[in-house]
Amino acid sequence: MPEHLTVVEHPLVQHKLTLMRDADTPTGLFRQLLREISTLLAYEVTRDLPVTTRRVHTPLESMDAPVLDGRKLALVSILRAGNGLLDGMLDLMPSARVGFVGLYRDEETLEPVQYYCKLPEALPERRVIVVDPMLATGNSSAAAIALVKGAGAVDIRFLCLLAAPEGVRRMADAHPDVPVVTAAVDERLNEMGYIVPGLGDAGDRMYGTR
């Protein structure tokens, strides 16, 4: 993945994202759509995983067939909305280890405050995919990535559903070595730090809270 930012323009992703944006989409469907999109985005964010070959014997003959080269994977969810992306990704990568970073956004400063951190072992040997549906100011995402770097991770990707230009810039400044994969980059952030037009508060829409 050479570019810092990849926007996944696949029609299935875009269609599902449009349904998620609709304020009338109910909680259960919203969660289901997020799970489905996360599987499609997982496909994109793992596109450059290294492969090697393994000798297999098909019913007809033998061949050297491609397999993952054994690099271990870790998914790190930024609580709580990041959890909405986990299950769909784990469907594709069932043996990935999973970590959690708890950050809440101070409503006045919009700065992240850490309240929880539990990361898998051996992060330096893993491809680490940090997930959060909304890349808004980028403060939480940048802080979460600083945490995983602090734990030794060097091969890191950031996966989100929607990004604001401000968040993309913040990530590029803070972590130029971390490619970002998203389904869309929206217009802007509003004065409350929400992505516009966006889809509202992803955690609230996912879990039916307010």
CB proximity list for 178: less than 8 A, separation 6 or greater? 4, 130, 145, 156, 157, 158, 171
17 binds ligand URA (CB under 6 A): no
Nearer to ligand URA, 52 or 209 (CB): 209
What is the DSSP code string of 18-80?
HHHH-TTS-HHHHHHHHHHHHHHHHHHHTTT--EEEEEEE-SS-EEEEEEE---EEEEEEEET
For 127, residues 6+ apart whose C-beta sits below 8 A from its C-beta are 46, 49, 71, 72, 73, 74, 155, 156, 157
Burial of 10 (0-12, 13-18, 19+ CB in 10 A): middle
From 23-31, 51-59, 66-74, 200-208, give the range in contact with ligand URA by CB under 6 A: 200-208
Per rule CB under 6 A, count of chain residues that contact ligand URA: 10
Is 201 among the residues that bind ligand URA (CB under 6 A)?
Answer: yes
**161-180 binders of ligand URA (CB under 6 A):** none
Active site residue 21: no
Q: How far is the CB of 159 from ligand URA (least distance, A)?
A: 15
Piece of the chain touching ligand URA by CB under 6 A; list 19-27, 57-65, 150-158, 189-197: 189-197
Closest approach of Cβ 167 to ligand URA, in Å?
9
Say whether residue 194 binds ligand URA (CB under 6 A). Answer: yes
Scanning 15-23, 56-64, 113-121, 187-195 for contacts with ligand URA by CB under 6 A, the matching segment is 187-195
State which amino acid sits at residue 85: L
Q: Which is nearer to ligand URA, 73 or 164 (CB)?
A: 164
Q: Phi/psi zone of residue 36: left (φ > 0), alpha (ψ -120 to 50 degrees), beta?
A: alpha
Among 21, 39, 97, 201, which one carries the catalytic annotation?
A: 201
Is 204 known to be catalytic? yes
Applying CB under 6 A, which residues contact ligand URA? 81, 134, 136, 193-195, 198, 201-203
